Amino acid sequence: MSAFREHFLDKYFGYRRRYVGAVAELAPNRRSLAVASEIARLGFSFAACALVAFIMGIVFVGSLGHASWLLVATFGLTVLLPLVFIAFIVGGLRDAWGDR
């Protein structure tokens, strides 16, 4: 889990701090644009994860009575992962909104 956290979660969701910090250091007058672009990036990620969770939620509910337990478990995990990422995205959006 630490490799996944180090190479994906910390880099993707910690990107805002490094990006906004670098922009603020190089061009302080463009810091607000960097924060706005980060809010847009996280908003797009939120919409994409919500769409995947919604579609796979429909598939998951449809598979409950008809599919094997392995498919149901696979569909359940496919619904769960975007929901976990949405929780991280909401945290990032909250931090970025506070930086405005």
- What pLDDT was estimated at residue 43? 92
Given pLDDT bands bounded at 50, 70 and 90, which one contains residue 66?
A: confident
Q: For residues 48 and 33, what is the distance between their CA atoms, to the nearest angstrom?
A: 22
- What pLDDT was estimated at residue 55? 93
Task: Give per-residue pLDDT as tens, 27-55.
Answer: 878 878 888 888 898 899 999 999 999 99
Given pLDDT bands bounded at 50, 70 and 90, which one contains residue 99?
A: confident
The percent helix, strand, coil of the chain (3-state, each to 5) is 90, 0, 10
**Average per-residue pLDDT for the chain:** 84
Name the pTM for this structure: 0.76
Q: Which residues contact 53 (CB under 8 A, 6 or more apart)?
A: 79, 82, 83, 86
